[in-house]
Structure 1
Amino acid sequence: MYMILFMFMLFMSICMFIFSLFMIYNNKVIFLEWELFSFNSFELIYLIMLDWMSLFFMSFVMMISSLVILYSKSYMSSDNYKIRFILLILLFVMSMMFMIMSPNLVSILLGWDGLGLISFCLVVYYQNNKSYNAGMITILSNRVGDIGILLSIAWMLNFGSWNFLLYLYFMKNNMFYYIIGSLILLAGVTKSAQIPFSAWLPAAMAAPTPVSSLVHSSTLVTAGVYLLIRFFDFFSYSKMFQWFLLISLLTMLMSGVSANFEFDLKKIIALSTLSQLGLMMSILSLNFKNLAFFHLLTHAFFKALLFLCAGVLIHNLSNFQDIRFMGSLSLMMPMTLSCFLIANLALCGFPFLSGFYSKDLILEIMSMNSINIFIYILFYFCMGLTVSYTVRLMWYLIFTEKNFLNLSNFNDEDYTMTKNLLFLSLLSVFMGSMLLWLMFNNLNYIYLSFFMKEFIYLNMILGFMMGVGIALKFKFSKFMVKKYFFFNYMWFLNLLLTYGLTFNFLKIGKIYMKMMDLGWLEHLLKNNFYQNIFYSMNILQFLQKNTIKIFLMFFMIWYIMIFMFIM
């Protein structure tokens, strides 16, 4: 079953990729209308839009999903509910497809809600307290975005159709469009976990690792970025984007700093996803939607590879995820660590890997813009933090001493997993340059001074030095860990949005229950009614006993009453 699904999805991915090349070469867009229901003048039509952007994205989602399904054959081999897991993954991918190829707000909501609901089912898959808490914070955070789309559907009733692309140009200055744009922006911010909705993304690590790989590379969290790229004309060059730029940069800063002091392997990779989402959103808010989409596609492969490598490490470490227990793993698992290193270097933007082509282009284009110096410095600092936490992670995994159980058997000879890692490694190396040639086929001249050109590499070197300093526990890093919990714990967002949000409501509920349900209200209403009814039932029960005395007494009473009325 796993092989059949893998082959089918891989075949679909290749077909979509070839079709997307045809579309990008001929600059075509295909609209398909499917009439679901017709009654007199009323028609219910499902609209599908196929252009190079949607086909590229669907191809990559299918490719990564096929590899994740094949990987799950080995990773979930000891699980009792394999069929349920695979069905959830397929529903998850199908919901993403709904969202990608639809220009209609209602059908976008179908895919959007499907992603939220199935992500909840996948996060609570292991059925323990941690999973349930993470699932609740995930689905409740995403519901805020769903409300934004529902309200925008209500506002679109003013135009007569929910196919938003049909109204983009001739109603661009309408006030309703700004309202719809702000609601869509809210939806994108919640789904891509920007501040203040960032707490659910690390919490969603309670899901199985193949699910994390799929969620963080190409499906759930990237859905928000893709939605904003699709609705780009609603709020391009508007004041909303200026605030949005600040939010996305603060998200990058918060996740980068937190990742430098985190010890959970999967959470470090999750925070790196948050950092990259902030990068995509920030370059989108500078009105470069194609660049944001380019980084979205290149990021998908090396992020999927990072999570799949982390899954192999966790399997070998008896489900331990603390990087302080990992050390000298390159001696025992050379293949997995090589793939992990390739993915990390691509994440840093190491020259001629896939992440380099998008990140270098983003930084150079941004350097050519007349932008605020504060934003400029913050942008580069966040890029340095990416290198820093990556170097720290690799230092703990490779250069430190082995700190795990003595009797442990490390190996990366699971060929099902290894084949997926090698294939994704190849994509992480070559796909960046390939996409650059395909998407940016026109020549753009980038003119920068020598210092600004070299500042990118200088920034990487400074990030490398900072990562080594934090890994070696220099005085500065010890001081940061002990004193500044604000920086280490995602600016307390996880406390504010989980403990802080639920505890007070539960406390109020306890007081209400004590005063009302267990107080005078309970005595006056529930207990009082109960006692009166119980007393009446006892009387009736006594009367219904078949005793001659009671029947004779009743007979005499009726006889006397009738006699009195007749006389």
Structure 2
Amino acid sequence: MVWSILMNLSSMMFLCLFSLICLLGFLLMISLNFSYYIEWEIVTLSSGSLEMTLIFDWMSLLFLSFVSFISAMVMFYSGGYMAGDMNMDRFMYLVLGFVCSMVFLIVSPNLISILLGWDGLGLVSYVLVIYYQNEKSAGAGMLTALSNRVGDVAILISIAMMFDLGGWGFIFYNESGFTEGIEGLIFLIIVAGITKSAQIPFSAWLPAAMAAPTPVSALVHSSTLVTAGVYLLIRFSPALVGWGQSVLFILAGLTMFMAGLGANFETDLKKIIALSTLSQLGVMMFILSMGYYKLAFFHLLTHALFKALLFMCAGSVIHSVGGTQDIRVMGGLIYSMPLSITMMNLANLALCGTPFLAGFYSKDLILEVAFSSLLNEICFWLLVLATGLTVCYTFRLIYFTVSGDYNLAGLSCLSDEDEIMTWPMIGLGVGAVIGGASLSWLIFPWPYMICLPWKLKLLALLVSLIGGFIGYILNMMVENYKLNCFSNYNVVNFAGSMWFMPFLSTFGASNLILKISQYYHQSGENGWLEFYGAQGVSGSFEVYSGFLQLAQDNSVKIYMVMYVLWLILVIMFLL
């Protein structure tokens, strides 16, 4: 136990120091407007060479600072959440390996070196998802691993295609503006990005990954695994032109709408927060597909702060109520856990885009830029509805956890006495309050000048107010009255199951292949091959051996028949 606490403290102090160094490096890089690009050649193979490259610019250093700070808070938080676990040391080493893989991915502008961090994230995430050894965790881990393997294959094929393009790094394509002949490469990079960031049709693994311990969820959904795909596409953004932007635009719009709709029907606390992550990833991809990569990166950083805080608060609640994750059995927690619930509401309000919190500065700016762009009507209303649904499920979560009656068992021990879990939440809470304003001043030295009609200017605020009202009042009515609109099982099942995405990603994707293989197995291996192969040969030998046994039988009938046959053969030969 003492060793685990010392390991938590030492890991937190090291990561905080590393975060501070990266932050100072970011300030130096952005003030002097330059970056370091380190490259060395490892091996040369005839006409090609294998190179190791690292890039240290303002974007990579700022992202490293955020990843290190959030990882430090998660490591310290894990000391209280995982206290008493038999495999605490293994858990800590896995989390550190996870962070190292993400750091390696951030500073790599080369697809070969990116693949090392990319595969490291996939491997360690699988081990962390199956940390609790049960059937549910095993299934979720397999779904997570196989879904992410699609992106790994896309990266490998991209590396193979780069043999003909003269360089392994994305910087050459971004700076030269060369886009002719790399459509296939851009398609593969988009596939890799949407698999890692769980966009449609690869969205099923994200809620399934909630089988991992809650500190892992706080790290995965804030600044590491799911943001790796967005970060990769941000780096490749100058090359994403033409049809690539259109495909990403449509998938992102559908994803954020689907996730917002599904979260309003979900009752699992961690899955609601996971679907909110999926919705915000859709927002990042949406604005990235329009060419505003800085806005996508800005929202990625602000989202990391309040989403890590939200998962930590959820973990504190789950830890106190004995492992229960159903929000319907919660209620009135503000009286028993005032600090945790206050921090949770702070993160929820930041998620909604409440003015002057972290989410407001990035999300409101994204909405204004999108409203001022040339959007078609369908995509415009998808964005508006997704914004309203975000506020709706957030206030639904607030209603079921904060207000209402106390629905837990009478002997439940609810408190905020665990300081090891409390201090990281306070640190991230401060970031959720001041992080948005600070980042907006640092990343955008000149503010965006957006001219909108007052109707569009107030549209985001109006949609948020309507969404919050519906989310709170409608769930109050559902709890007290039976509403016919929620009694239709087919509608609720479709909306609450992510449009059957988990089914389509597993059985739906493999059903056709399994049926084809079953047909060829029955007609081939168990059919013609058996008839003309092993069973056919053995049957022929049985017939021939039976005839020989019959011919060797000491019977007068056999002798007479053989005598007549031989006599006929001799006569035919003589004639």
TM-score, normalised via structure 2 length:
0.87
Is 1:498–2:489 an aligned residue pair? no
Q: Please give the alpha-carbon distance, in whole angstroms, between the structure 1 residues aligned to 2:388 and 2:71.
A: 31
1:58-137 paired onto structure 2 within 5 Å: 58-137=64-143
For residue 462 of structure 1, report the CA deviation from its aligned partner. Answer: 0.7
Compare 15-24 and 161-170 and name the one that shifted more.
Answer: 161-170
The structural deviation recorded for 1:307 is 0.5
Aligned twin of 2:494: 486
1:298 to 299, 302, 325: 302
Report the alpha carbon displacement of residue 367 of structure 1 after superposing the two structures with TM.
Answer: 1.4
Counterpart in the other structure of 2:411: 407
Does the 8 Å CA contact 1:249/1:378 hold for their aligned counterparts?
yes
1:184 counterpart = 2:192: no
- Of the candidates 3, 12, 15, which is equivalent to residue 9 of structure 2? 3
* Contact 2:177–2:239, Cα closer than 8 Å, also in 1: no
Equivalent pair of 2:101/2:116 in contact (CA under 8 Å): yes
In the alignment, which residue of structure 2 is the partner of 1:197?
202
| Structure 1 counterpart of 2:58, from 43, 52, 57 | 52
Measured in 2, the distance between the counterparts of 1:504 and 1:326 equals: 43
Equivalent residue, structure 2, for 1:445: 449
The answer to whether the 8 Å contact 2:179/2:239 transfers is: no
| Aligned partner (choices 161, 164, 173) of residue 158 of structure 1 | 164
Q: 2:200, 2:410 → 1: CA distance?
A: 43
Residue number in structure 1 paired with 2:562 = none
Is 1:316 aligned to residue 320 of structure 2?
A: yes
Residue 536 of structure 1 corresponds to none
For the residue of structure 2 that corresponds to 1:45, the secondary structure is: strand
Deviation at 1:89, TM superposition (A): 0.7
Which residue in the other structure is 2:380 paired with? 376
Match of 2:356 among 352, 356, 359: 352
Task: Please say if 1:281 is aligned against 2:289.
Answer: no
RMSD across aligned positions (CA) = 2.5
| Structure 2 segments unaligned to the other structure (5+ residues) | 1-6, 538-575
The one-letter code sitting in structure 1 at the alignment partner of 2:59 is M
CA-to-aligned-CA distance 1:397-436 (integer Å, 9 cap, x gap):
0112111112111111100000011110000000000000
Compute the displacement of 1:35 (Å). Answer: 4.4
1:331-380 deviation per Cα after TM superposition (whole angstroms, max 9, x unaligned)? 10000000000000000000000000001111111111122122112211
Q: What is the distance in 2 between the residues matched to 1:338 and 1:294?
A: 25
8 Å contact from structure 1 (residues 481, 488) kept in 2: no
In structure 1, give the amino acid aligned to 2:353.
Answer: G
| 1:405 match: secondary structure | coil
Structure 1 CA distance, aligned partners of 2:303 and 2:472? 24
**Number of residues paired by the alignment?**
528
- Equivalent position to 2:223, from 209, 213, 218: 218
**What's the CA shift for 1:242?**
1.5
Q: Are 2:400 and 1:396 aligned?
A: yes
Q: 1:55 to 1:263 in 2, by over 3 A?
A: same
In the superposition, relative to structure 1, how do residues 163 and 408 fare at CA in structure 2: closer, same or farther (>3 Å)? same
Displacement of 1:483 in angstroms is: 3.8
Per-residue deviation, 1:495: 1.3
How many Å separate the matches in 1 of 2:133 and 2:511? 22
Do the aligned partners of residues 319 and 513 (structure 1) sit closer, same or farther apart at CA in structure 2, a change above 3 Å counting? Answer: farther
Asked if structure 1 preserves the Cα contact closer than 8 Å seen for 2:37 and 2:55, the reply is yes
Q: State how far apart, in whole Å, the 2-side matches of 1:225 and 1:185 are.
A: 10
| Distance in structure 2 (CA, Å) of the matches to 1:376 and 1:169 | 32
Give the structure 1 partner of residue 264 of structure 2: 260
Task: Give 3-state SS (helix, strand or coil) of 2:499's partner.
Answer: helix
Q: Deviations over 1:378-403 (max 9, x none)?
A: 21111000000000001000112111
CA distance 1:167–1:124, change in 2 (3 Å)? same
TM-score by length of 1: 0.88
Aligned-partner Cα distance in 2 for 1:230–1:81: 37
**2:497 aligned partner, one-letter code:** Y
2:408 is paired with a residue whose SS is coil
Corresponding residue of 1:31: 37
- CA displacement at 1:481 relative to structure 2: 5.5
The answer to whether residue 252 in structure 2 is matched with residue 244 in structure 1 is no
Q: CA, structure 1 residues 39+524, in 2 after alignment: closer, same or farther (shift >3 Å)?
A: closer
Aligned partner (choices 1, 7, 18) of residue 12 of structure 1: 18
String of CA shifts for 1:224-262, please: whole Å, max 9, x gaps.
0000000011113x1221222111111011110100010
Contact 1:469 1:477 in 2 (8 A): no
In the alignment, the residues of structure 2 paired with residue 173 and residue 511 of structure 1 have an alpha-carbon distance, to the nearest angstrom, of: 44
Q: Mark the CA change 1:241 to 1:37 in structure 2 (over 3 Å): closer, same or farther.
A: closer
Q: Which amino acid aligns with 1:118?
A: V
* 1:45 CA displacement: 3.1
Q: In the TM superposition, what whole-angstrom CA distance separates every residue of 1:301-350 from its partner, at most 9, and x where no partner exists?
A: 10000101111111111111000111100010000000000000000000
For the residue of structure 2 that corresponds to 1:46, the secondary structure is: strand
With over 3 angstroms needed to count, the CA separation of the structure-2 counterparts of 1:40 and 1:459, relative to structure 1, is closer
Deviates more, 1:165-174 or 1:492-501: 165-174
- Is 1:457 paired with 2:461? yes
Question: Which residue does 1:559 correspond to in 2?
Answer: none
Q: Note closer, same or farther for the CA distance 1:325–1:526 as it changes in structure 2 (3 Å cut).
A: farther
Matched, 1:367 2:371: yes
Letter in 1 for 2:233: L
1:250-283 alpha-carbon deviations (Å, 9 max, x no partner): 1011110100010000000000000000000001
Q: Give the Cα separation in 1 of the matches to 2:372 and 2:41.
A: 48
Following the alignment from structure 1 to structure 2, what is the Cα–Cα distance between the partners of residues 178 and 515?
Answer: 41
* Shift of residue 470, structure 1, vs aligned partner: 3.4
* Residue correspondence of structure 1 range 405-554 to structure 2 within 5 A: 405-474=409-478, 475=483, 477-479=485-487, 483-501=491-509
**Equivalent in the alignment of 2:234:** 229
Question: Percent identity over the alignment?
Answer: 48
Q: CA offset at residue 486 of structure 1? A: 1.3
Aligned counterparts of 1:243 and 1:79: Cα–Cα separation in 2: 45
1:543 aligned residue: none
**Which residue type is aligned with residue 235 of structure 1?**
L
Partners of 1:524 and 1:179 lie apart in 2 by: 45
Report how far residue 468 of structure 1 moved: 1.7
Distance (whole Å) between structure 2 residues aligned to residue 240 and residue 516 of structure 1 = 42
* Preserved CA contact (<8 Å) 1:261 1:481: no
Shift of 1:36: 3.9
